[in-house]
Amino acid sequence: MAEVVDKMLKELKARRKELEPLVAEYHQVESAIRAFEQSDGGAPSSPRGATRKAPTRRSRRGRPRKGEPTRSDQFLALVKEQPGITVSQAAKHLNVQPNYLYRVSAGLVDQGTISKDGHGFAPAKASGRKAQKADKAAA
């Protein structure tokens, strides 16, 4: 049994000696990478096991806070400012996805607040209580 242990120990020491230059080279390469990232302003790569930074806070999602305009209000104001504006143009202006504004625009058309004008939208002509009520709500 002692012979087996001695043999394994001898083999392990030999292998360690073989790997020693590679480990040293690995550490040199890591140092060089860190130096380049710090001088170039690049994003440093975190070594294995390193803890990550907490993610930066993203913009708030969900319902707007009290007193803030809704997307519907924002879209309506944009349609009033730029009659004939398309959903794609409005989406770029409001920095949202167009598919979301298609849903918003359909709701405003159903309410009678705006009307479809070719590919774009225009404020609805004031007719009836519903349109007047919608104008008051937008103001």
pLDDT tens digits along 22-66? 888 888 888 888 888 887 555 555 555 555 566 665 665 666 677
- Please check the confidence at residue 85 and state whether its pLDDT lies above 50: yes
Task: Quote the pTM value.
Answer: 0.46
Beta strands in 1-139 (DSSP E): 114-117, 120-123
> Residue 64 has which token pair?
């707007």
Of 22, 40, 18, the C-alpha closest to 30 is 22
